[in-house]
Amino acid sequence: MAEAIRKIDIDEIEKRLSNLEFTPSPIDFEAIKQNYIKKIGNGKVILKLKASENIGLGHLSRMITLGWILKDAKTDLIFAINDFEYAKERLKREGFGFEVNGFGSNEEFIDFLIDKRKPEVIVVDEKYQYNADDIRRWQKQTRFISLDFIGQGYEVCDRIIMPNAHFEEEKYPTFNNIVWGWDWVLINKEVLKLKPKENLPKKVDSIVVTTGGSDPSGMLFKFLNWLEGCKREVLILIGDAFKHKDSLKDLNLPDNFKILPYHPSKLLKGDVAIATFGVTVYELIYLNVPFVCVGHTKENQEGCRILSKRSDTLSVLNFNKEVEMWKK
């Protein structure tokens, strides 16, 4: 049963920590690498995605990780993106080539990519419904893989990869082309360079707050309200494309609240993290950092609840009209 609360009770979280046993992360990157190389191959591949301040940067970060996995396997690889300056600059820094969609539709863009690049595989990471007839038409020349999206008629896709452990397979009884689970999780490659924690903290002295790369919904400001009066150190990580930077200037925070530019290594500075549901949650799981997970959409709320049953998250917070703490 859900208990309505108005604040995040750090003392209560500290008590819960004392009752938890340390469990190493279930995320095995070597197994993940081999799975993706096996399913996608090392021929000509196009990774198509959308990123923006409103959409967020999760699609971009995980596709860059996938890009490095495939690049290490000697794949002939190029990205296909919408016209978003941050994505273009990020891909340039990473050393990836890309095509930018200058067409009136996604379908026209894919037609162009197939005609020009003649890929063996197109991997699409977008919340966009493609018509099954278009997919069949493209499949005469290439394989079509959907990442993290199941649209109507997507039974025709060569493969659907759900890169998470909160997927509900039973909701798709007519599909036989879906793979998912811990061995398909894609996280920021910079996180994979870090050494995960090897034990749980005995007390909470420091709290890391992260709301992703752009925070389209402004969840950070709700987090700060919930943490009002907190005496612990609170490290507020601001993503590269954070949408509300101007509003940060108006904050009157106490000295123990510190605003820092986001870097994955700073996730390890928290005894506990508070994070919006998304790729960052899986990064915290990889790093063995206990966290409170917050879902601010219906889809994310459901993902939070499922993941809380399949991992050792401390608790799950779902933001709707009020805040709710779901007790395990």
**pLDDT tens, N- to C-terminus, the chain (328 residues):** 233 445 788 888 888 888 888 888 899 999 999 999 999 998 999 999 998 877 777 789 899 999 999 999 999 999 999 999 999 999 999 999 999 999 999 999 999 999 999 999 999 999 999 999 999 999 999 999 999 999 999 999 999 999 999 999 999 999 999 999 999 999 999 999 999 999 989 899 999 999 987 888 888 998 999 899 999 999 999 987 788 888 888 899 999 999 999 999 999 999 999 998 888 899 999 999 988 888 777 788 788 888 877 776 655 554 433 333 333 3
- The pLDDT, as a whole number, for residue 20 is 81
Residue at token pair 């050792």: 312
Task: Judge contact between 208 and 232, C-beta under 8 A.
Answer: no
CATH of domain 29-184: 3.40.50.11190
152 CB-near residues (< 8 Å, 6+ apart): 129, 132
pLDDT number for residue 103 = 96
Question: Where are the chain's structural domains?
Answer: 3-25+190-326, 29-184
CATH number 1.10.8.100 given to 3-25+190-326: no
For residues 90 and 68, the answer to whether their CB atoms sit within 8 Å is no
With both helix axes pointing from N to C terminus, report the angle between 58-72 and 85-94 in degrees, rounded to the nearest 10.
20
Gap between the Cα atoms of 173 and 166, Å rounded: 17
Cα separation values, 9 from 15, 144, 151, 182, 192, Å: 10, 47, 40, 30, 31
What are the strands of the beta sheet with 76-81, ordered from one edge? 98-100, 76-81, 44-49, 121-125, 143-147, 159-162, 178-180
Q: What is the pTM of this model?
A: 0.87
CA distance 292 to 7: 13
Predicted confidence at residue 321, as pLDDT, reads 32
The single-letter code of the amino acid at 21 is: E
CA nearest to 227, candidates 9, 5, 3, 66: 9
